[in-house]
Amino acid sequence: MTLSRFYPLGTPGQPWGPAEVQQWRARQVRQRSYADDVLAAIELLRNQWDVECYGEVVYADAALGEERFPLMALRSLSWSSALPTVLVTGGVHGYETSGVHGALRFAADHAAAFAGRVNLLVAPCVSPWAYERIQRWNFDALDPNRSFRADSPAQESAALMRLVAPLLGQFAAHIDLHETTDTDESEYRPAVAARDGKAFEPCVIPDGFYLVDDTANPQPAFQQAILRAVEQVTHIAPADAEGGLIGTPLEAPGVIAYDVKGWGLCTGITGARYTSITEVYPDSPRANPEQCIAAQVAAVGAALDFVIASS
């Protein structure tokens, strides 16, 4: 099999084995600090939130040594069983920077406005090893956002599911903060094809913000409420030449839908009525890093406003 774009690891047409995963891992370079960027920011929020460590990611490699990352969550101080509960997640893909910093920005500067009206559980950086490497996959070359399922092979996904488990049945909404970047096409998708022994099929990266709904539980009014808020901050992605986005038909302008549970996506873990995956495009010439963070904050705020109005 000849791949249209061959990733520089492995053999075309053959799935990776342990040797190729090790080669891939050795190529990943630590570029930023989870402790400095995330844990330090969380420490500053201890007077505003109940801060908890919900697990630890531990990775060991004979050549690279051992690394440990505490997984941190923020829980509303004014938690009440009478209030709707909302989960906010960021950094399920560690390289999607505005998701992490959008969750932290919301927790620091905007969550207080919702105190006493909604219970908030925020996991701002689900995949810290990948955050430091600016990588989509975890240490084991697994995508955490395809691994939210029973007996998950991804430590990050399994830990978040354990955090959520005692609250199942209580969630009104879950918003998961993501980005679609140019490296999805230049790095991630070619790597997936190589890892799985498949041909790489090019795709067009959307220029702008869009949302992912759930095919099994579509909530169009919820998605539109988020889009209305975000379009005040950054532009919404127009449809591509085929009338869709990222190879998927539109449900509405700026909205596509996936089978979130079938794909093992994060928004399938709570059983919430209202779920949405945000997708910011940080590489657009019409956006900048601050706009991307602001768009994530606006999306969370709009989601909460909708839930409160619907309760």
Once rounded to an integer, what is the mean pLDDT over residues 78-96? 97
In the structure, what pLDDT confidence band is assigned to residue 115 with cuts at 50, 70 and 90? very high
The answer to whether 183 and 97 are in contact (CB under 8 A) is: no
6 pLDDT more than 80: no
Lookup result for tokens 């928004």: 267
Task: Tell whether the model's pLDDT for residue 287 goes beyond 50.
Answer: yes
**Mean pLDDT across the stretch 239-255?**
96
Which residue from 297, 300, 292, 298 is spatially nearest to 276, judged by alpha carbons?
300
Alpha-carbon span 300 to 306, nearest angstrom: 10
CB atoms near residue 93 (< 10 Å): 29
In this prediction, residue 5 carries a pLDDT of 54
Percent of the chain predicted with pLDDT > 90: 94
CA–CA separation, 89 and 277 (whole Å)? 10
Say yes or no to pLDDT of 1 above 60: no
Summarize pLDDT for 253-263 with one digit per residue, the tens: 999 999 999 99
Which DSSP category does 211 fall into?
A: E
Q: Quick one: pLDDT at residue 63?
A: 77
Express each pLDDT in 132-160 by its tens digit.
999 999 999 999 999 999 999 999 999 99
